[in-house]
Amino acid sequence: MPLARRALLTLLSGSAALLAAPAVAQTASPRRSGGELTFLIGSLDSGWGLNEKVDSYTGIVWGQLADKIVHVDDKGEATPWIAERWEENAGQSEFILHLRAGPSFADGSPVDARAVAANIELWARGDTSRGVGRLGLFPSSTYKGSEVLDDRRVRVSFTRPTLSFIPTLGYHKTVLRSLASLNLKAEELGNLDRQIGSGPFTLQSWLEGDHVVLRRRPDYNWGPQALAHQGPASLERITFKVVKDAAIRAAALQAGQAQIALNIAPHELRPLKARGIRAVAPDSLGFVSGFSVNTRAPFFDDVRLRQALQHAIDRQEILDTVFTEDWKPVTTLLQPNVPEAADLSALLAYDPEKSNRLLEEAGWQRGADGIRARGSDKLRFNLFASPWVGTSKQVDEVIVQQLQKVGIAARLQVVDIATFNARVRNNDSVPLREISRSFLDAGVVGNVLTDADRGDNWFKLGQSNETLNRLAQDIATAVDRRSRAETLKEAQRYVLEQGLFIPTAQLNQRLYVQAGTVKGEAYSGGGYALYHGAWLDA
């Protein structure tokens, strides 16, 4: 049995705790006030600007500094936070947000309708004059505008049905900031001192790329309705410290120099268990880990090549090598807790004979070196591990070996976030882009299929594929979730049959490895930790 798997099995020792973390940690210990939580994190390199600057790492920090309009749990259910309730018309194109009385930003300004409307406007439209792009998962293409009805009511209108609007308000990037923060000059946007939220903690100090220290806000009293704790946070202080090396994060945790470390490699977990360390992987709504296929890359416009990759990957071997028996194989391109996820495991069956047959039909013949070629072209490419997923490198190492068995030469590249963004995201010579995206509403699926309405166009087909065009349109214009769920299942089947998305394993962007003294933390539907209700046990 591989070392990584043995270590993780030892940590779990008969428990499925790693994959069954509750939305709110359960404990019988009495709540204690005070204490400092030290959280070791792999990166804070994306900076502190607006919208897309909030990434998988900085999103955890923002979850303590800023509130959201709604809270969304791991089943996709939206419940009140800053909005105490909301109304929606029958056509799902107009929403009225009713805001709770009392919340204020850390600068003393109210979290009122004017501030909420301004935040929504910036998420939807961005501000090109200051280099602020629109928020990617916000339904901007159908957005008409936000109208302040009075101090506590905002009307938000869209040009067509927009079922995803309310859940999107709980997204880790839709953090509420004060009007002063929203109106900063371009050169001030990256200054965390000037970014003011209304959360349970405020900024004490920070050093770019090194650390952020937060302190408790004593007058906070407007946490999410779904969470048990109300009033000020119990913790006095939280320190987020950047430690890029996962092994060093593990060593510091073992030495008691921190209470939480994010994304420690499985083989580092065994010695931590004896010290009362536990690992928590909260359920995360979103896409599974896998590759979106760029059909503009050389040769990947051929469906036979894409299908050959789909069946060349042995997903059970990935689980056996990198994860544990508590993990289940992927069955589609969506996480299993997404309500609209389908079971399409038959389309993902490991079948190297079929892969070889498809490759030969497409004209790719094995050479003396075992690598397939067609004329002077070799079937080789670079494969880039996701810098946001701790297990990506280990998974991709297994995949490289599996592809080699059918004559495909993939060379693994491990790069940092900045390099990945620069070399991979919009590079049409890279055929496979590893995706690790969470969401809070499955309507996002329609937005990735084409480039219509500023869609993400994952497969680089634009609007050339009529089936994808129809599916994207039907998802976007649905007025009830039941009919949209059927369309989403059809979309999942078509994308997998066409080999446009290659699932690998269930998504685990955030593995919280933490001391047993950490109690009462909670998690959003995107797997982001909330420490408003947390405390440190003696």
Classify residue 291: in a domain, yes or no.
yes
pLDDT attached to residue 23 = 46
Among 222-226, 240-244, 503-507, name the one with the lowest average pLDDT.
Answer: 503-507
Are 188 and 302 part of one and the same domain?
no
Give the Cα separation of 335 and 75 in Å (integer).
Answer: 11
Per-residue pLDDT, averaged over 87-105, amounts to: 96
Are 267 and 306 part of one and the same domain?
no
Buried b (16+ CB within 10 A) or exposed e, 136-151: bbbbbbbbeebebeee
Contact by Cβ (8 Å): 350, 499: no
Among candidate residues 281, 241, 251, 219, the one with its CA nearest the CA of residue 37: 241
Among 11-15, 112-116, 186-190, 290-294, name the one with the lowest average pLDDT.
Answer: 11-15
Classify residue 74: in a domain, yes or no.
yes
Are 321 and 224 part of one and the same domain?
no
SS (H, E, C) 300-317: CCCHHHHHHHHHHCCHHH
**Helical H runs in 406-449?**
417-423, 444-449
Q: How do residues 229-275 score in pLDDT, each as one tens digit?
A: 999 999 999 999 999 998 899 899 988 999 999 988 766 776 777 77
Are 457 and 529 part of one and the same domain?
no
Residue 320 sits in a domain whose CATH number is 3.10.105.10
Are 295 and 173 part of one and the same domain?
no
Give the Cα separation of 374 and 472 in Å (integer).
Answer: 35
- Residue 13 in this model has a pLDDT that exceeds 50: no
pLDDT attached to residue 512 = 92
Residue 535 — very low, low, confident or very high, per pLDDT cuts 50/70/90?
Answer: very high
Classify residue 29: in a domain, yes or no.
no
Summary mean pLDDT of the chain: 90
Any bridge partners for residue 262, and if so which?
Answer: 512
Classify residue 28: in a domain, yes or no.
no
Classify residue 262: in a domain, yes or no.
yes
Residue 138 sits in a domain whose CATH number is 3.40.190.10
DSSP 227: S
- Hey, what amino acid is at 2? P
Residue, of 8 and 422, whose pLDDT is higher: 422
SS (H, E, C) 167-188: HHCCCCCCCCCCHHHHCCCHHH
Residue, of 363 and 24, whose pLDDT is higher: 363
Tokens at residue 166, please?
């309310």
pLDDT attached to residue 510 = 82
DSSP 334: B
Residue 223 — very low, low, confident or very high, per pLDDT cuts 50/70/90?
Answer: very high
Are 404 and 304 part of one and the same domain?
yes
Phi and psi at residue 162, to the nearest 5°: -140, 75
- Residue 3 in this model has a pLDDT that exceeds 60: no
Are 380 and 405 part of one and the same domain?
yes
Q: How do residues 450-496 score in pLDDT, each as one tens digit?
A: 999 888 999 999 999 999 999 999 998 899 889 999 999 999 999 99
Are 271 and 309 part of one and the same domain?
no
Which DSSP string do the residues of 483-495 spell out, in sequence order? Answer: HHHHHHHHHHHHH
Among candidate residues 183, 164, 54, the one with its CA nearest the CA of residue 107: 183
DSSP 452: G
pLDDT attached to residue 93 = 95
Are 250 and 333 part of one and the same domain?
no
Contact by Cβ (8 Å): 412, 400: yes
Contact by Cβ (8 Å): 310, 351: no
Among 3-7, 280-284, 333-337, 518-522, name the one with the lowest average pLDDT.
Answer: 3-7
Which DSSP string do the residues of 359-418 spell out, in sequence order? Answer: HHHTT-EE-TTS-EEETTEE-EEEEEPPTT-TTHHHHHHHHHHHHHHTT-EEEEE---HH
Classify residue 21: in a domain, yes or no.
no
- Between 315-322 and 3-12, two packed helices, what is the crossing angle to 10 degrees? 70
Token pair 């500094």: residue:
65
Are 240 and 300 part of one and the same domain?
no
Residue 432: CB partners within 8 Å, gap ≥ 6?
291, 292, 293, 294, 309, 381, 383, 502
Give the Cα separation of 527 and 8 in Å (integer).
Answer: 20
Give the Cα separation of 514 and 349 in Å (integer).
Answer: 36
Are 219 and 353 part of one and the same domain?
no
Among 91-105, 270-284, 422-436, 454-468, name the one with the lowest average pLDDT.
Answer: 270-284
Classify residue 20: in a domain, yes or no.
no
Are 315 and 398 part of one and the same domain?
yes
Contact by Cβ (8 Å): 300, 38: no
pLDDT attached to residue 175 = 94
- Residue 104 in this model has a pLDDT that exceeds 80: yes
Per-residue pLDDT, averaged over 99-120, amounts to: 97
Domain that holds residue 105: 36-281+510-536
Tell me how far CA of residue 194 lies from CA of 49, 179, 202, 352, 515, in angstroms.
10, 11, 11, 55, 33
Among candidate residues 199, 283, 218, 201, the one with its CA nearest the CA of residue 24: 283
Contact by Cβ (8 Å): 236, 104: no
Token pair 């070791």: residue:
40
For the chain, what is the domain count?
2
Q: How do residues 19-37 score in pLDDT, each as one tens digit?
A: 334 444 444 578 888 999 9
- Residue 415 in this model has a pLDDT that exceeds 80: yes
Classify residue 2: in a domain, yes or no.
no
Contact by Cβ (8 Å): 117, 148: yes
Per-residue pLDDT, averaged over 312-331, amounts to: 86
Phi and psi at residue 367, to the nearest 5°: -95, 180
The β-bridge relationship of strands 237-242 and 211-216 is: antiparallel
